[in-house]
Amino acid sequence: MNRKALSLSLIALMALLALFPLGIAQADEDCEFADYTITLGGLAPMSAPGAVAGGVAMDWAFAQAAADINAACGVEIDGAHYQLEVITGDSEGSPERGQAVAERLILEDEVDGMVGVYHSAVGLATMGVMEENGIPTIFSEPWNDNVSANGIREFDGAAPRFDDGIDHIFRISPTSSMVGSVVTDWLIALGVQDVILIVENTDYGQPAAADEQARLEAAGVTVSQIDIELGTEDFVPILSRIQARAMPPDAIRIVVTGETSFNLTQQMAELGIAPTPETICVTNQIAFQHVQYWATVPDGNYCAFNRVGIIPSLFNELAVELNTGYEEAFGDIVPSFGMASYDAVWMMKDAMERAGSYSDAAAIVAAIEASDITLTQGRYYFDYGAHNPDLPEGTPAYMWHQWPDPIVTVMQYFEQGQSSLEAAVVYPEVYQTHGSAYIAPGTSP
Amino acid sequence: MALFKRVENAIDASIGRRRLGYIALSLITLYFLWFPNDASQSDYYKTVFISGFFYAIMASSWALLAGIAGQFSFGHMAFMGIGAYVAGLIARDGILVAALGIQVGPDYISAVGAILIGTIVAGLVGLVIGWLLLRLRSAYLALFTIAFSELFRIMMLTEYDYTGGSNGLSLRQLLEIADVGVARQVEYYLMFFLLIVCLLAMYWVANSPIGLFLRAMREDEDAASALGVNVVRYKIAIFVFTSMIVGLAGAIFYSDVGSERIIPEQLEVLQMSLIIAYAVIGGMESLIGAAAGAFICRYMLEAMRKVVIGLPFGMTTADGSTEFVWEPGAWRYALFGVVTVFTLRWMRNGLLYPFITWFSGRDIAMKETVSIRADDEAAPDALEGGSA
C-alpha cells in the first residue's frame, strides 16, 4: 500500500470513528436532559491481583445499565431528567487500592452513589470510606457475612461503622453463609447419613468445607473429608480409598474449583463411584459451564451442582435482554455479579427518584431501605434497616441491609450433553423446575 | 546544549551543585510538609501520597539490600507482611508463650506495642532466614526468598481461621482521631516522617564503614573476604536491618494509616516485582533515587486512571466542554512496563540517576576517572611510541 492510500484509509477510519458518538446519542434525542449528570462510582477489579474477568463483566453491566437508563430518559427527579453515568474505578482486588480509588471517586469525581465491589476484602476496607463521606452504596458481589453484619450497632465483631445513625451500605449478593447452606440443606432434606467431602486445600475450599461439615454434623450426618491440591490430575489413589470402603457413601460433595474439579468428577464417574443409585454426586458451580463440563466430564450425567444467581429458566424479560447483550459481547451466560451490578445501578436510580434527590444521602438510604422493585434477579427489598431495626432472635446479623432472596440453587443434569439452560433445578423446592428433589441415575424427571 | 553547559559552569562557579542539590531537597521537603495544608487538595491526594511514602520505604530499603549490598531478595513483601500480620494478631489475641508461662491479654497491648513487636519479629525471622541462606550466593538467595514469600503467603491464606484468609486481617487502629480530616493529616505526617527517619537510617548505614564493606561485598565477595570483611555477618546484619524497616513500615501502614486491612494477595511475587520495578526506575544504587522512583510511580499509576486537560484559548471539545478527558487507566500498568523495559535497556542506573549524580557532583568525578583511565590507557602507547 502506498503512502497516499494509507493516508486515505486513516482519514476514512477516523471519519467512521467520529460518527460513532452520533449513533449513541440518537437514543437520547427524545429526552430533554438537565445540565447536571448524576454519577455513580462503580468499584470493580480491572487488573491483577484482582479477578479481572469478574471486573470486566461488572464494568460492562454498569455501562449497560447507564445506557438503558439514559435511553429511558435518565433519572427523573421533580420533573427534571438527569443523565446517569457510572465511572468504573479499578480496585485491583486490593483493599489498599480499593480505598484509594473509592476516595478518588467520592472526592474527585464527586459521585452521588457507589455500586459494585467484587472482593470481600475490598468491600470490608472501603465501607469505612463510604460511611465517612455519607455515600449511599449497593454492593453487588462481596459475600463475606460481615459486609452487612457490621452495620448493626450491637454487632460485636467490629466497631459499628456508623456514628450518625445512618448506615449507607446495602448488599444484593448472597452472603457466604447463604451460599454454604444450600447444598447441605438439600442433602439433609434428602436424608443422607454418610457424606464424603473432597476439598481443595485453599482459602476457599477449607472454610467452605468446614462450614458444610458443621451443618451436616449438626443434622446427625457422618462426614469424612479428603483434602486434595489444586492441579492434581490423577485421583485414582484417593478414589480407591473410597472404593475400598465396606459401604459406599450416600453422597460425595466436591468442594474443588476449575479444571481440577472436572478431572476429579470424571475419574469418579469413570470408576463407578458416583453418581450411582447408591451415591449422589455433587460437584461445583463451575459445572454450569456446560460446554466445558461435557467436554471434560462425558460420564458426568446425573451430577448435581450448586449455582449462585438466578437460573436461566427463571429469567424474566429484563434478564433475557441483558443476557442477550452479554452473550453478544462475551459469548457466555451473564454471571450473577453482572446481573447484580446492572440491578444495583437501577436500584440507585429508583431510590433517587423516590427520594426526590440525588444528593440527599439520608433520603436515598431511606428510599433504598423501602425498595420494592423487580429487576433482572427478581424482586428487591430489605427486611431490616433503620425502617425495621429489630432483628428477631435467631436472625443472623448479616440480614441487616441485606437482600434476603439472592438465588442460590442446586441444579442437576439428567441427559448426556445437556445444556445447563435445560438442567433441572432440584432445590430449593420453590425453584424446582421438574417437580423433583433428586433425579436418580437412569431415571427421567 | 551550549546554554546548558554555560548554566552548569555558572552554577559550579557560584553556589555549587551539591549545595544546589541540598536546596532542591529542602524545597521538596518543605513542599511535602506544606502539602496537607493546601485546602484545594482533597483527602484523596493525601491518601495517594501516604501510599507513595510507604512504597518509597519499601523500594529504598530494597535498594539498600540489592543495589548497595548486592543481595537480590524477593522476600521484602513477606517481611513487610510479617510485621503487619504479627502486629494485627498480637493486638487482637495477645501473647501466649506457654513454655515460658507468659500470657499477656490483648487489652494490655497498645497499637504501638503491637507494631514494635511486629517489627522485632520481622527482624528475628530475617535473622533466622539470613542465617540459613546468606551463606548461599546469587540465584540461590533469590530462589529461596521467592519460596519463603510464597510459603508465608499460603500460610496466611490457608490459616484463615486465624488470619482471615483472603478477607484479610484488620489491624488495630493506630490513630484514633474522630475528625476524618485531621486524622488524614496526622496519618500523612506520620508516614512522611517515617520515610524520612528510614531514609536517614539507611543513608547512615550506606555511608558508614559498614556501607563500604557492603559495597565491597557486592563488587567481589571473595576479595572482600580476603581483605578481612566478615561477609556472612554483614550480609545477615543488612538483611535483618532491612527486614525490620519493612516490618515497621508494614505494621504502621496497615494499622489504618494507609489501609484498613492486609490481605495475602498483597504478598504475592507480582507485588514484589512492582517494588523492584520502582527501585529500578528510580535507581537501585541510590536510596533517594529508589524512594523518589517509587513515589513518582505510585503517583503516576494513580494519576493515570483519568487525565483531565484544560483546553487553552477558549477551545472546546465536540461536546462543548473546555476540558479534554483521557482515560488511559486500563493501560497504566502496560505503560509502566514499557518504562521499566526502557530503563533496563537504556538507563540501567535508573531514570533519576543522572539528576542525582549531577546534583551530587559525582558526574564530574566520574568524568575525571574516565579521562584519567583514558589517559592511562593511551600513555603506554605513547611511551611505546616514544621509545620506538
Q: Which residues of chain B are within 8 Å of residue A202 when distances are taken between CB atoms? A: 157-158
C-alpha B154/C-alpha A423 separation (Å) is 37
**Would you call the peptide bond into A404 cis, given omega within 30 degrees of 0 as the criterion?**
no
Does the pLDDT of residue A20 top 50, yes or no?
Answer: no
Q: How far is A98 from chain B (nearest CA, A)?
A: 9
Tell me how many helices (H) and strands (E) chain B has.
Answer: 16, 6
Cα A212 to Cα A179, A185, A222, B155, B239: the distances in Å are 10, 9, 12, 22, 44
B93-104 confidence digits (pLDDT tens): 888 877 777 788
Please compute, for residue B78, the number of CA atoms within 13 A of its CA located in the half-sphere on the CB side: 21
Instruction: Identify the closest residue of chain B to A50 by CA–CA distance.
Output: B265
Task: Give yes or no for B42 touching A (CB within 8 A).
Answer: yes
Q: Which residues of chain B are within 8 Å of residue A94 when distances are taken between CB atoms? A: 263, 265-266
Scored b (16 or more CB within 10 A) or e, A29-53 reads eeeebbeeebbbbbbbbbbebbbbe
> What does the pLDDT read at residue B237?
93
Task: Give yes or no for B191 touching A (CB within 8 A).
Answer: no
> What does the pLDDT read at residue B387?
39
Percent of chain A surpassing pLDDT 90: 55
> What does the pLDDT read at residue A15?
47
CB–CB contact A204 B48 (8 Å): no
Option in B42, B262, B329 nearest A107 (CB): B42
Pairwise pLDDT comparison (A282 vs A26), residue with the higher score:
A282
If one looks up domain A28-174+317-399 in CATH, what number appears? 3.40.50.2300
User: What value does the mean pLDDT take over residues A248-275?
Assistant: 92
Q: Given pLDDT bands bounded at 50, 70 and 90, which one contains residue A155? A: very low
**Would you call the peptide bond into B264 cis, given omega within 30 degrees of 0 as the criterion?**
no
B147-194 confidence digits (pLDDT tens): 999 999 988 887 888 888 877 888 888 888 878 778 889 999 999 999
C-alpha B388/C-alpha B384 separation (Å) is 6
Instruction: Identify the closest residue of chain A to B331 by CA–CA distance.
Output: A47
C-alpha B223/C-alpha A193 separation (Å) is 72
Q: What parts of chain B have a pLDDT lower than 50?
A: 382-388
Option in B160, B258, B306 nearest A203 (CB): B160
- Range of lowest pLDDT (A144-153, A182-191, B50-59, B115-124): A144-153
What ipTM did this prediction achieve? 0.78
Reading phi first (left if > 0) and then psi (alpha if -120 to 50, else beta), residue A170 is in: beta
Task: Give yes or no for B150 touching A (CB within 8 A).
Answer: no
> What does the pLDDT read at residue B377?
62
Task: Give yes or no for B261 touching A (CB within 8 A).
Answer: yes
In contact, A365 and A106? CB cutoff 8 Å: no
User: Apex CA B135: angle with CA B133 and CA B139, to 5°?
Assistant: 70
Q: Given pLDDT bands bounded at 50, 70 and 90, which one contains residue A157? A: very low
Task: Give yes or no for A206 touching B (CB within 8 A).
Answer: yes
> What does the pLDDT read at residue B365?
59
Q: How far is B329 from chain A (nearest CA, A)?
A: 8
In contact, A63 and A86? CB cutoff 8 Å: yes
Task: Give yes or no for B273 touching A (CB within 8 A).
Answer: no
- Range of lowest pLDDT (A20-29, A218-227, B323-332): A20-29
Q: How many Cβ atoms are within 10 Å of A381's Cβ, its own excluded?
A: 14
| Cβ neighbours of residue A158 closer than 8 Å, sequence gap 6 or more | A146, A150, B170
Q: Which residues of chain B are within 8 Å of residue A121 when distances are taken between CB atoms? A: 166-168, 261, 263, 265
The answer to whether the Cα torsion of A263, A265, A266, A272 is positive or negative is: positive
> In which element (H, E) is residue B144 found?
helix B139-158
Does the pLDDT of residue A25 top 60, yes or no?
Answer: no
Task: Give yes or no for A191 touching B (CB within 8 A).
Answer: no
Task: Give yes or no for A28 touching B (CB within 8 A).
Answer: no
pTM reported for the whole predicted model: 0.80
Q: How far is A110 from chain B (nearest CA, A)?
A: 11
A35-48 confidence digits (pLDDT tens): 999 999 999 998 87
> What does the pLDDT read at residue A132?
85
Q: Given pLDDT bands bounded at 50, 70 and 90, which one contains residue A402? A: very high
- The radius of gyration of chain B's CA atoms, rounded to the nearest angstrom, is 24
Indicate the class that CATH gives domain A177-308+407-431. alpha beta
A416-427 confidence digits (pLDDT tens): 999 888 899 999
> What does the pLDDT read at residue B194?
96
Scored b (16 or more CB within 10 A) or e, A149-173 reads bbbbeebeeeeebbeeeebbbbbbb
Q: Which residue has the cell 431510590?
A: A351
> In which element (H, E) is residue B169 found?
strand B169-170
In chain A, where are the structural domains located?
A: 28-174+317-399, 177-308+407-431
> What does the pLDDT read at residue A362?
92
Task: Give yes or no for A124 touching B (CB within 8 A).
Answer: yes
Does the pLDDT of residue A158 top 50, yes or no?
Answer: no
> What does the pLDDT read at residue A10?
52
Task: Give yes or no for B158 touching A (CB within 8 A).
Answer: yes
Task: Give yes or no for A164 touching B (CB within 8 A).
Answer: no
Option in A94, A99, A109 nearest B265 (CB): A94
Among residues A406, A405, A422, the alpha carbon closest in space to that of A414 is found at: A422
Q: Which residues of chain A are within 8 Å of residue B304 when distances are taken between CB atoms? A: none
Please provide the average confidence, as pLDDT, over all residues in chain A. 86
Q: How many CB pairs under 8 A join A and B?
A: 88
Option in B43, B168, B262 nearest A107 (CB): B43
SS3 B130: helix
> What does the pLDDT read at residue B373?
59
C-alpha A265/C-alpha A260 separation (Å) is 9
